[in-house]
Chain A
Amino acid sequence: MAKRIDVSGLHVYYGDFLAVEDVSMTIEPRSVTAFIGSSGCGKSTFLRTLNRMHEVTPGARAEGKVLLDDMDIYGPDVDPVLVRSEIGMVFQKANPFPTMSIYDNVIAGARLNNKRMTKSEADDLVEESLRGANLWKEVKDRLDKPGAGLSGGQQQRLCIARATAVKPSVLLMDEPCSALDPISTLAIEDLIHNMKEDYTIVIVTHNMQQAARVSDRTAFFNLSAPGKPGKLIEMGETNQIFTRPEKKDTENYITGRFG
């Protein structure tokens, strides 16, 4: 189910402003890839181009190739809506739908697309997704309660359950733990660890220990200078990036000399 992503020569723009310049990388299936770098260096922007979420912002566009297995998601006939159902996303701020119950939030992807499913199929999907997100035990007795009534960490796991319920092959996570306490963070990191057997996971994080803990490969982004576009500086095995980085910038960043 998990798929590989090959990016080549991708430029990302906001209007005329070039935000990320010339990124090429390969994201391996069934692994966790972490993006690190200082704020404003374009990691999140780049992440959002991987499921064509970037262009939702007026004036925003991307040029280049992003291959999902062998399919270019920026190809001429590609429907961004279908791309997004194949490449799911979890956001920095937990955003359950406020009008829906926990149950409805989980199957929102199916319901909103008017997929026909029987009650028992829906029940199974909800249970499977919530179990996958380590949330089932906590909420199984109050599935009909509003999703907005959960704690921050639970809401974020609900959002992960919602994203996995549409059975994507890739899951993008944009700083999913930045607003959470250490215990909720640990719960989500465990979850990421378990999920990589089924998904290709890409996570943006400001927390380098987190990148070191959860990821197999790490990509370091940086601005060449203030006001200049962000660039991919170095990418490699997480172990290698954190112990023997090839570039001076990477070493400075991970040792805390700047950023």
Chain B
Amino acid sequence: MSTTTAQPPVPGPESGTKPDLRAGTLPRHFPLGLLVGCGVVVAGVLAAFSSFGLITWALLTAVAYSVIIVTASNRVEGGRKAKDRMVTAIVYGCFLLAMAPLVSLLYTVAGYGLDRFSPYFLTVSMNGVLPSMDAGGVYHAIVGTLAITGMATLLSVPIGVLTAVYLVEYAQGRIKKVITFFVDVMTGIPSIVAGLFVVALWMMLFGPGHTNGAAGALSLTVLMIPVVVRSSEEMLRLVSRDLREASYALGVPKWRTITKVVLPTSAAGLTTGIMLAIARVIGETAPLVLTAGSSAVSINWNLFDGQMMNLPVFIYSQFRMGGAVNYERAWAAALTLVLIVMLLFILARVIGRLFSPKTR
């Protein structure tokens, strides 16, 4: 080390002149101000031509903003920053574009659904209500949705998670490839085919005409298992080898390492994956029309006895009847379904928060 300090300083390429490290910057609130300015000006111009439309306005504002900010930035801050501004504008634009359908969908569902959405609607069934009467509700469909999806979850979560554990922790070579391949194939099964499969199975086991909730739950299970396997597999792979080895080094057998270290460490991710799988099947309509039936009107908690209404099928059948009241019911039921899914996601977040590893 001492030899290098003794050497005379090596002259740089531009010795004598210090490099200027400063660069111009746009004022901090310039982008926001510009955006608002663009919005107002574009609105004014459009109004002057009396052709104001929300979509035209948003598009023109976005274009005007991007052009001005990139030009201004190029002038003041230089090319690299200008590119940054441009890409930032594009990314935000794409985000808003992606959000638009979602917001629009929620707005529409809430707008139409709230006409009929009330405690009364949620707590009564359609038993004894003629389709055109201004009465009735979705209680029986909520019951059916919860019972069928619940049973499907109870069936597919153990199978799915254990398959994932097998694939990640035990399977090697050919059998692993075969199982992974078939899980992938299962992911691609159209939902109506899953419904037909269960109908055929029920025909064989119980004879014709025995539709019930359990058949619906089984068809949803077929759809749900591959989703659970795939997401759980990813989550289990995220648990680092270090933790497994730490456990082995304490003389803990493999199965206890899996149940007490690997699964708890990935619990938050597993929960999220399972919730996504539930959300995926809770809106399934086609297999349930075939299996659980589409004409039940009364409350039925028994999965093994008789037809069972559920929210997607309720929406479908009400919409098909075509009267004003039916449309209102369909929208209100759609709102109910969306709310249930949202509740599930909030629940998943809370559970994930409770399980996730903490550092404080």
Which B residues lie within 8 Å of A91 (CB)? 242, 245-246, 249
B172 and A159 contacting across the interface, CB-CB below 8 Å = no
CB B254 to nearest CB in A, in angstroms, measures 8
**Which chain A residue lies CB-closest to B172?**
A58
State the CA gap A145–B245 with chains docked (Å).
23
State the CA gap A218–B40 with chains docked (Å).
78
Number of interface residues of A (CB under 8 A): 33
Question: Is A242 an interface position by the 8 A CB rule?
Answer: no
Which A residues lie within 8 Å of B256 (CB)? 112-114
A53 and B249 contacting across the interface, CB-CB below 8 Å = yes
Which B residues lie within 8 Å of A166 (CB)? 250-251
Question: Is B106 an interface position by the 8 A CB rule?
Answer: no
Question: Is B3 an interface position by the 8 A CB rule?
Answer: no
Choice from B243, B245, B250, B360 contacting A56 with Cβ under 8 Å:
B245
**Which chain A residue lies CB-closest to B266?**
A99
State the CA gap A149–B358 with chains docked (Å).
8
Question: Is B27 an interface position by the 8 A CB rule?
Answer: no
CB A52 to nearest CB in B, in angstroms, measures 9
Question: Is B101 an interface position by the 8 A CB rule?
Answer: no
A148 and B250 contacting across the interface, CB-CB below 8 Å = no
State the CA gap A159–B243 with chains docked (Å).
11
A95 and B246 contacting across the interface, CB-CB below 8 Å = yes
Question: Is B39 an interface position by the 8 A CB rule?
Answer: no
Choice from A84, A146, A159 contacting B248 with Cβ under 8 Å:
A84
Which A residues lie within 8 Å of B265 (CB)? 97-99
A-contact bits for B346-360, CB 8 A (1 contact / 0 none): 000000000101111
A93 and B251 contacting across the interface, CB-CB below 8 Å = no
Question: Is B252 an interface position by the 8 A CB rule?
Answer: yes
Which A residues lie within 8 Å of B253 (CB)? 81
Number of interface residues of B (CB under 8 A): 27
B247 and A112 contacting across the interface, CB-CB below 8 Å = yes
Which A residues lie within 8 Å of B243 (CB)? 95, 97-98
| Contacts between the two chains (Cβ within 8 Å), count | 89
Which B residues lie within 8 Å of A111 (CB)? 260
B357 and A112 contacting across the interface, CB-CB below 8 Å = no
Take A82-B251, A95-B246 as given contacts and tell me if A148 and B172 are in contact as well, using a CB distance cutoff of 8 Å: no
A84 and B242 contacting across the interface, CB-CB below 8 Å = no
Question: Is A132 an interface position by the 8 A CB rule?
Answer: no
Which A residues lie within 8 Å of B245 (CB)? 53, 56, 89, 91, 95
Question: Is A66 an interface position by the 8 A CB rule?
Answer: no
A112 and B264 contacting across the interface, CB-CB below 8 Å = no
**Which chain A residue lies CB-closest to B242?**
A95
Question: Is B122 an interface position by the 8 A CB rule?
Answer: no
Residues facing A in B287-318 (CB within 8 A) are none
Question: Is A231 an interface position by the 8 A CB rule?
Answer: no
CB B154 to nearest CB in A, in angstroms, measures 25
A89 and B357 contacting across the interface, CB-CB below 8 Å = no
Question: Is B74 an interface position by the 8 A CB rule?
Answer: no
Which B residues lie within 8 Å of A99 (CB)? 261, 264-265, 267, 355, 357
Which B residues lie within 8 Å of A53 (CB)? 245, 248-249
Residues facing B in A88-104 (CB within 8 A) are 88-89, 91, 93, 95-99
CB B264 to nearest CB in A, in angstroms, measures 5
Which A residues lie within 8 Å of B264 (CB)? 99
Take A99-B264, A145-B360, A148-B358 as given contacts and tell me if A112 and B250 are in contact as well, using a CB distance cutoff of 8 Å: yes
B358 and A51 contacting across the interface, CB-CB below 8 Å = no
Residues facing B in A67-110 (CB within 8 A) are 81-86, 88-89, 91, 93, 95-99, 108-109
**Which chain A residue lies CB-closest to B246?**
A95
Question: Is A43 an interface position by the 8 A CB rule?
Answer: no
B249 and A88 contacting across the interface, CB-CB below 8 Å = yes
A148 and B357 contacting across the interface, CB-CB below 8 Å = yes
State the CA gap A162–B172 with chains docked (Å).
31
Which B residues lie within 8 Å of A56 (CB)? 244-245, 248
Residues facing A in B1-37 (CB within 8 A) are none
Residues facing A in B256-295 (CB within 8 A) are 256-257, 260-261, 264-265, 267
B246 and A112 contacting across the interface, CB-CB below 8 Å = no
Which B residues lie within 8 Å of A146 (CB)? 357-360
**Which chain B residue lies CB-closest to A98?**
B357
Which B residues lie within 8 Å of A2 (CB)? none
Question: Is A232 an interface position by the 8 A CB rule?
Answer: no
State the CA gap A109–B243 with chains docked (Å).
13
Take A97-B265, A99-B264, A149-B360 as given contacts and tell me if A108 and B242 are in contact as well, using a CB distance cutoff of 8 Å: no
Choice from A96, A113, A145, A163 contacting B252 with Cβ under 8 Å:
A113
State the CA gap A96–B249 with chains docked (Å).
12
State the CA gap A146–B355 with chains docked (Å).
13
B residues in contact (CB < 8 Å) with A:
172, 240, 242-254, 256-257, 260-261, 264-265, 267, 355, 357-360
6 closest A-B pairs by beta carbon, nearest first, are: A85-B251, A98-B357, A109-B250, A89-B249, A95-B242, A149-B359
Q: List 21 A-B contacts (CB under 8 A).
A: A53-B249, A56-B244, A81-B251, A84-B249, A86-B251, A88-B250, A95-B243, A97-B265, A98-B358, A108-B250, A109-B250, A109-B251, A111-B260, A112-B247, A112-B252, A113-B250, A113-B251, A146-B357, A148-B357, A149-B358, A166-B251
Given contacts A97-B246, A98-B358, A112-B260, 9 further A-B pairs with CB under 8 A are A53-B249, A81-B248, A91-B245, A95-B240, A98-B359, A99-B267, A149-B358, A162-B250, A166-B251
